[in-house]
């Protein structure tokens, strides 16, 4: 059995750790409220914009539909944008994102080459010695998510796609559901997919067949699509980053809450162990005193 001093040191260490985990849980809860508000605000806008752009692109005919950002070609080079956090202590959040990206890359056909585009230090650190080609220009964007920086990243990746550096770009991110539940997704990002006519008709309801004749576009459908495509891609990427940020704070809050509970359980065991050791020490002292008194009396 450990002596009293060792148990006291362990108790003090666990109490100190518990105070840290409590503080981290409160900080994460505060950040989660802000991040959750941001993602709840952008989601309806992003979904509405995506649907509108999809309908506009599907309405273009002939060569007008062959725009650089929507052109589908044979896939040889795939850009994998991996969104992770810059800090740890958030349970299996980062490992699940990395596992999702690795599974996607491993499932690619042998004639397709993947290039990793990590956003967040944890992804950079994990794949540092993997031998996988990496584009590290955007690794620090998760430190402070700003739409302007996201739009610049979307613009550079779009240019790389148009110039043929990538034939497809996907985004691996975490979709926020609640602080306990996150869904790890692989989102096709480029080329931008047009909404199918059947989906457009079903969402429009009755009279959808003549919906195209009911609208006049100024300055024209093609010009509107060309202006909206880069903006829609930037919004989709920004939403994925906000989703991942909210998921990170939720995972960290949950992990710190569980760590605090575990520290409490360990404290109860250590205090029980301390009391037993103290009782044993007192009993030993009493036995020695009685034994000494008996020896003197004899």
- The set of catalytic residues is 90
For residue 194, the surrounding DSSP H or E stretch is none
Q: Which residues pair with 119 in a beta bridge?
A: 83
The answer to whether 119 and 82 have CB atoms below 8 angstroms apart is yes
Q: Render 12-67 in DSSP notation, one character per residue.
A: HHHHHHHHHHHHHHHHHHHHHHHHHHHHHHHHHHHHHHHHHHHHHHHH--GGGG--
- Using CA atoms, how far apart are residues 243 and 237, in angstroms rounded to an integer? 10
The rounded distance, in Å, linking the Cα atoms of 254 and 237 is 26
Report which of 220, 173, 201, 219 is spatially closest to residue 58, judged by C-alpha positions. Answer: 201
> Which are the contacts of 179, defined by CB distance < 8 A and separation ≥ 6?
32, 249, 250, 251, 253, 254
User: Residue 211 carries which DSSP code?
Assistant: G
Instruction: State how far the Cα of 29 lies from the Cα of 260, in Å rounded to an integer.
Output: 14
User: Can you say how many angstroms the Cα of residue 66 is from the centroid of all Cα atoms in its chain?
Assistant: 33
Residue-by-residue DSSP string for 101-120: HHHHHHTS-TT-EEEEEEES
Helix (H) or strand (E) holding 123: helix 121-126
With vertex at residue 292, the alpha carbon angle to CA 288 and CA 293, rounded to the nearest 5 degrees, is 120
Neighbouring C-beta atoms of residue 194, cutoff 10 Å: 21
Residue with tokens 């605000």: 41
């Amino acid at each position: 059995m450990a002596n009293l001093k060792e148990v006291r040191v362990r108790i003090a260490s666990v109490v100190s750790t518990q105070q840290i985990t409590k503080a981290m849980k409160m900080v994460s809860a505060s950040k989660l409220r802000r991040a959750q508000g941001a993602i709840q605000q952008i989601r309806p806008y992003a979904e509405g914009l995506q649907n509108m752009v999809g309908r506009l692109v599907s309405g273009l005919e002939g060569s007008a539909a062959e725009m650089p950002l929507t052109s589908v070609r044979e896939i040889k080079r795939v850009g994998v944008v991996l969104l992770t956090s810059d800090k740890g202590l958030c349970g299996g959040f980062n490992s699940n994102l990395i596992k999702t990206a690795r599974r996607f890359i491993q499932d690619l056909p042998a004639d397709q080459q993947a290039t990793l585009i990590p956003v967040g230090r944890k992804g950079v650190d994990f794949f540092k010695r993997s031998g996988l080609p990496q584009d590290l220009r955007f690794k620090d964007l998760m430190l402070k998510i700003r739409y302007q920086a996201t739009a610049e990243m979307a613009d550079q990746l779009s240019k790389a796609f148009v110039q043929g550096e990538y034939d497809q770009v996907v985004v691996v991110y975490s979709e926020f559901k609640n602080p306990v539940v996150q869904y790890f997704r692989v989102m096709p990002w480029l080329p931008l997919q047009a909404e199918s006519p059947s989906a457009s008709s079903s969402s429009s309801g009755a009279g959808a067949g003549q919906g195209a004749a009911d609208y006049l576009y100024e300055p024209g459908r093609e010009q509107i699509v060309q202006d909206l495509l880069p903006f829609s891609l930037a919004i989709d990427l920004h939403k994925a980053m906000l989703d991942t940020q909210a998921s990170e704070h939720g995972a960290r809050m949950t992990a710190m809450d569980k760590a605090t509970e575990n520290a409490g359980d360990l404290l109860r065991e250590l205090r029980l162990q301390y009391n037993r050791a103290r009782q044993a020490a007192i009993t030993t002292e009493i036995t020695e005193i009685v034994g000494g008194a008996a020896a003197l009396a004899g």
